[in-house]
Amino acid sequence: MPLRGHARAIAVLGLPLVGGHVAQFAIGLTDTVMLGRYGVQELAAVTLGSTYFFSIFLLGSGFAFAVMPMVAAAAGAGEERQIRRSTRMGLWLSLLYGALAMPLLWWSEAILLMLGQKADIAHAAAEYLRIAGWAIFPALLYMVAKSYLAALERTQIVLWMSVFGAVLNALVNYALIFGNWGAPELGITGAAIASLVTNGVSFALVLAYALKVLPEHELLKNFQRPDWEMLGQVLRLGAPIGLTTLAESSLFAASAMMMGWLGTVPLAAHGIAISLAGLTFMVHLGLSNAATIRAGNAYGRGDRDHMARGGKVVTVMSLAFSVVGVTLFLTIPEPLMSLFLDPADPQKTEILMIGTGLLAAAALFQMMDGMQAVALGLLRGVQDTAVPMVIAVLSYWAVGMPASYVFGFVLGWGGVGVWAGLIAGLTAAGVSLMARFWIKSIKLAGAPAA
């Protein structure tokens, strides 16, 4: 396939995935926008609470991300039974992980206080998590179902299910946060209920679709029976993916904790800036998923050259979009941040001043953030997850986190210094992971999947 053909195939596969990630991200973004207009304290609390939730959620999502390359490789090799087995055990592991994670979500207040957060913000975040935390179950199961469908290149339904979830969340948020349409005004509690309802309904719908459209896979037939061999395979592939994702997300979570040390206003500004940076990252994440699926198919067929050409194309596409993100963050930071704030808020000017500097820092890490996401997607496609996990942990925690603390507090750069540390960690990860794919994994990809 020529390079133009690869670009077209990646776009056809990746654009619905990008749209799906943007729609999924819009759920948290809607919480941030609406609570930002409800009150600065509520915005700070949901920034802290949602960051805490997603750190736990992303560790468990490794099993869902493992399902994607396993199903893609099985489909490429024509092994229908392997598709069913890997998806079922992905659902099993997600349920088990959710049960283990719930105590951390239920008793989050004590943990947040130990991490140095202000008592009133920690209490409000914990109240949010006692309701929204239950969404860990449907959210993880939904991720597995989406990975299964995406790996089979049914990305359109993934997009529309995600759009539906975003719209539903916005409507329930609007009703319950502000007390519209005769509903009670619940503030941050309303946002938590909206997140729980949205994830529950979304999983029910995507599961119903999978059972109806792909009955040959019989996903729920004898679901109660364990498949220990396949469970072990998903666990071995998924656990490093989850730890890799956690290493990155916890870097951002720790940055939120550090911003909390600086005060409520810096934390609120951080919440807005990280939401905008996260929105642009959804494009890179969608391209990363497309890279996983196409690399997984090629890996299953033993087609090394196809995978190499596809890897080059998806990397260039990610870099091209980074230029768009950089331009927006540097040219119109205040209009972007103002979307999240009540015009009459007396703290708006201070938040915009801090947030503008943070968006300038976000512009700097766009390319590296995209590079590390695409490299991870390619490596997962060839089922190489253990070494990338080590690279990620060292990049984010041996480089990024110490740099954030030194720049932010030792050198006194404040919030911009904390974000400078993020840049350092993402740069180390992006360069190292991309080198790993081209130097090591391509050489291993000629062998058929196990």
Each residue's pLDDT tens digit, 115-159: 787 888 888 889 899 998 999 999 999 989 988 998 888 878 888
pTM: 0.76
Cα-trace Rg, the chain: 21
CB 10 within 8 A of CB 233: no
State the maximum Cα–Cα separation within the chain, in Å, rounded to a whole number: 62
Cβ-contact 40, 347 below 8 angstroms:
yes
Return left, alpha or beta for 187; rule: phi > 0 is left, psi -120 to 50 is alpha, else beta. left
Hunting for tokens 């973004």 — which residue is that?
A: 29
CA distance 402 to 386: 23
Residue 2 is predicted with a pLDDT of 67
Q: Which residues contact 235 (CB under 8 A, 6 or more apart)?
A: 63, 93
Ranges in the chain, pLDDT < 50: 445-450
Q: Which residues contact 56 (CB under 8 A, 6 or more apart)?
A: 101, 104, 105, 136
Residue 447 has a pLDDT of 47
CA distance 73 to 76: 5
| pLDDT at site 440 | 65
Angle at which helix 155-178 crosses helix 136-151, to 10 degrees, equals 160
Nearest one of 59, 154, 55 to 108, comparing CA atoms: 55
- b/e 238-271 (16+ beta carbons within 10 angstroms → b): bbbbbbbbbbbbbbbbbbbbbbbebebbbbbbbb
- Give the residue from 438, 305, 429 showing the smallest Cα distance to 379: 438
pLDDT at position 446 is 46
> How far apart, in whole angstroms, are the C-alpha atoms of residue 142 and residue 38?
29
Domain boundaries, given as residue ranges, for the chain: 3-444
How many whole angstroms separate alpha carbon 162 and alpha carbon 10?
Answer: 20
